[in-house]
Structure 1
Amino acid sequence: MKKKAIVCVDDESIILDSLGEQIRNMFGNEYLYESAENAAEGLEVIEELAEEDIDVLVIVSDWLMPGQKGDEFLIDVHKKFPKIVKVMLTGQADESAVNNAINNADLHAYLTKPWSAQDLEKVIKTGLVKIEKYGSDE
């Protein structure tokens, strides 16, 4: 059986730790959990997992990060890996960024910080259903 992963990208390690803990509580060892502290590192992690024949099913990305904003990052991810479910976190509601990600990166959902574990679980699980229905990048 092919390994599957969820990747989170945020420039704050406390956020990555929280996301990782919540995802592990939701899914146990069903999915690998990987994290990155910026967009460039996030894309590198996704590409490395793909090279190792591991399917990245979901990516959760912060919007406001140094170097490249989350909507731009998710657009880059979408160009290379269009079937990954993309979720954006935002501490500051930026309607134009959300619309940019919806229109150009097939954004599945966005959550405002602070988010609830229940909202994160609902968003990820509906994204996984979407993949089951339409297939992954295999």
Structure 2
Amino acid sequence: MHDLVKAPIVPVWDRLNTHVSHAMRHLINEWDWLTVFLLPTYAPELNPVEYLWAHVKHSLANLASTALDRLEALARNRLRRLQYRSNVLDGFLVASGKRPPTRNLGADYCTRRDPERSMRRMTSKTNRLGLTVRFQPIPAA
């Protein structure tokens, strides 16, 4: 790779055992064009998925001793349930200093029978996401 780009290479690695092995350290020291940065062992501010795994592990803590044979199924279940809770997932992003994605709130927030209730629901949903709401009147057709 170095021969191809003709420039220094700077990888950022996690602490996988092959990344921190003596053989790898020896190779890194031999090549002056290679500078390696290692991530901390636990850095949720750099990787929001750390918050997700902490959340899942916490929800499984009391179940692991009684249902060790079902642990994989329980973990899959917890992850599947989380995929429908976008506000929790957005919280993981915000906690790590990242901005959550913008979402279309959908037609279910706009009802003809009670538009004020629709606006209150939409405002409440966006406030939970930490977003600002601007309403623009829709011209009558």
Asked which structure has the greater RCO (Cα within 8 Å, sep 6+), the reply is: 1
User: What TM-score results when the alignment is normalised by the length of structure 2?
Assistant: 0.24
If you compute each CA radius of gyration, which structure gives the higher value, 1 or 2?
Answer: 2
